[in-house]
Amino acid sequence: MGQAIRDAGIRKVSQARQRILDRLRQGLADPKIPWPPADTPPLTPGEHMHVATLRAEDAGLEQRFAAELEKLHGSSDIADSMVAARMFTVQKILEWLDDTGPRRVLAWSELNSWLPGLEENLFDRDVEVVVPESLNSLDTRGDLQEIRVGITGVEVAFAATGSVLLKSTPGQSRSASLLPLNHIALIPGTRLLPNVETWLEQHQQDGSLGHAIRNSANLTLVSGPSKSADIESKLTLGVHGPKELHAVLYPAAG
């Protein structure tokens, strides 16, 4: 980001800014205001409670993740090898691609780095893997609308809530997990943690938390398929995002 852009942003400073900050400071300086108390300390890192946690009866991280995701109307396969994971993945994709629609999937780049051989497997089954470099034009997006399946990896996944954290980077589109009706997420065991607090603490400890949050334009925590209860409190799926979310969990090689 260039210095010029930064300056332009800061020069946006208006009278409003000064007046608002002044009023707040004046209000806070008045000892008679009943709230907030003068001496409330912050929550220090490490003090935050773990809100959702593993339980003694959880068989393992994978099992807990799968159970939680199922409660959220998602589904999953737990594979005991990468080969099995590839098989589950291809199987699910073929199930979703029915004969009427295009045999195309919208994917993150380098699927083989998530599951070696996956791209070849899909090619063999006559499935085209679409990895857009840039989604700017409405035309491209209109074309992508026909694609019914999205494939992504994950930045990290959390067992206690059945959630996956997706990070936007060059090669990792937001669209792949958002536009298609079905989304499959590949989760190597090395990226599966008990809960979000564990992840926050890990980054806090090595001083990389700020970077982890802001070094990409977007982070999205996804827990299950898109849903709504706006109509008479009844569950409906696939309102805007995917109607189905399937996770494949597998041990990572070496």
Q: Does 117 bind another protein (CB under 8 A)?
A: no
Cβ–Cβ < 8 Å for 242, 180: yes
Using CB under 8 A as the binding rule, the residues of this chain from 132 to 161 that contact another protein are 132-135, 138, 141-142, 145, 161
Selected binder of another protein within 64, 226, 247, 249 (CB under 8 A): 226
Q: Does 240 bind another protein (CB under 8 A)?
A: yes
Which of the 8 DSSP states describes residue 231? T
Selected binder of another protein within 37, 56, 98, 100 (CB under 8 A): 37
Size of the site for another protein (CB under 8 A): 95
Smaller CB separation from another protein, 79 or 245: 245
Q: Does 13 bind another protein (CB under 8 A)?
A: yes
Which tokens is 134 given? 């840039």
Q: Does 223 bind another protein (CB under 8 A)?
A: yes
* DSSP symbols for 151-188: EE--SEEEGGGTEEEEE-BTTB-SGGGTSSSEEEEEEE
Burial label, 40 (beta-carbon count in 10 A; 0-12, 13-18, 19+)? exposed
| Sign of the C-alpha dihedral computed for residues 241, 173, 129 and 93 taken in this order | negative
Q: Does 98 bind another protein (CB under 8 A)?
A: no
Which region among 56-64, 113-121, 147-155, 215-223 touches another protein (by CB under 8 A)?
A: 215-223
Phi then psi for 96, rounded to 5 degrees?
-75, -30
Q: Does 239 bind another protein (CB under 8 A)?
A: yes
Q: Does 101 bind another protein (CB under 8 A)?
A: no
